[in-house]
Copies of this chain bind each other. A is one copy, B any other.
Amino acid sequence: MDNIIVQKYGGTSVGDTNKIKRVADRIIKAKEQGNNMVVIVSAMGHTTDELVKLAMEIMPAPSGREFDALISTGETVSASLLAMALHQQGYEAISLTGRQAGVYTEDVHNKAKILDVKPERILEELTLGKVVIVTGFQGVNSQDDTTTIGRGGSDTSAVVIAAAIKATVCEIYTDVDGVYTANPSLIKNAKKHKVISYDEMLEMASLGAQVLHPRAVEGAKAYGLEIHVRSSYNFSEGTIVKEVSKMEIKNPVTGIAYDENVAKIAILELPDVPGIAGQLFTKLADAKINVDMIIQSNQVDSHNDIAFTVSRDDLIKALEITKEYAKSIKASNVVHDNNVSKISIIGVGMMSSPGVAARMFSMLGGNGINIDSITTSEIKVSCIINSKDTEKAVRLLHDGFELEK
């Protein structure tokens, strides 16, 4: 089938029945242009939070299966209401649960991976001329039980379904109108990208530019599916995420990202025994704590330090585990700092432009901003700095790399 557009609307876009009606208008506009429409929806506004609250009133750690059965109802509600809103305007539409749409996942609950999409029913309903609305964030496992697919779920649902039905494009509607060179509420002259590569988007997405979930970007990259990130509040073009040839790249840096949800922990004066890092990070992983940057430094004497960052939400738990571990290996001291931020420059062009990292360090250092630690990837350089300098640093780098051009 040709001309299939997949659109995904998040919880804010379907937050109440008036917003749902506006989403219906937007779908109709695209449908009237001759497209076959498949729409993925999240739960309305705070529905999921309310369902989670009910579960917590019963027990602190509910079973994954029952938790999924519970919270997946949120998307079913918004999907059926959106179908009604299309009916009300005289359009044929049908809502499908993840299971009905053929979204098959692993047997695990709460963060199941999607294994396969069998799109027969979606395609059948499209052939009948209907707008097909699919509940995001959920699927079914081999036990015939509802599963949910974890954070960023609806974005991922949209991408995987779009790939399975060979959609022309997957439009992700959000409350910003695209991907900018830096946070536009901070940097007035931040520029919206017309096009950005999957890899750059991945780095932006995982660095707190919360436009599109990294899992969804990875999926789109794997399938070569074009994503269009755009606003549900206007009709202007957003940002296309796709494969970008290096030939097209002019500026080595395409975006500045920052993340203020960062805390740093360090164990000082570790005894120089092999396997310490492995043991510590296994313990943290077992407690489901995501460790971001890791900095290990060997000193000339027999001791060394190890430092790492976690999100601020995980700080207390991570500190507890680290202190206990430090005690068990007779390390002298654990320190922490939750007054730090991570600031990053991103760009596929960095790979072929030596000296970009050095320029970043000079811009920061030359303006009195102390760099606590550094990590780099092929297309990204990140520095931990003091939180108070975050805004200043973003401005300096945005100007310094001339991103407003």
Contact = CB atoms under 8 A, between A and B. Distances in A.
Interface string A21-51: 1000000000000000000000000000001
Given A54-B17, A81-B58, A87 B63 contact: yes
A357 interface: no
A95 interface: yes
Copies of this chain in the oligomer? 2
A65 interface: yes
A333 interface: no
Nearest to A76: B73
A57 interface: yes
A313 to B, nearest CB: 24
A70 B88 CA distance: 16
A88 B69 CA distance: 17
Given A58-B21, A77-B73, A88-B58, A83 B95 contact: no
A63 B81 CA distance: 10
Contacts of A76: 69-70, 73
A103 interface: no
- Taking chain A's interface residues, is the majority helix, strand, or loop, or is none over half, making it mixed? helix
A80 B69 contact: yes
Contacts of A81: 54-55, 58, 66, 70
Interface string A227-268: 000000000000000000000000000000000000000000
Contacts of A87: 59, 62-63, 66
Contacts of A58: 17, 20-21, 81, 84-85, 88
A95 to B, nearest CB: 6
A388 B98 CA distance: 56
Interface string A288-319: 00000000000000000000000000000000
Interface residues of A, number: 34
A350 interface: no
A67 interface: yes
A168 interface: no
A144 B88 CA distance: 24
A66 B54 contact: no
B62 A84 contact: yes
Contacts of A77: 51, 54, 70, 73
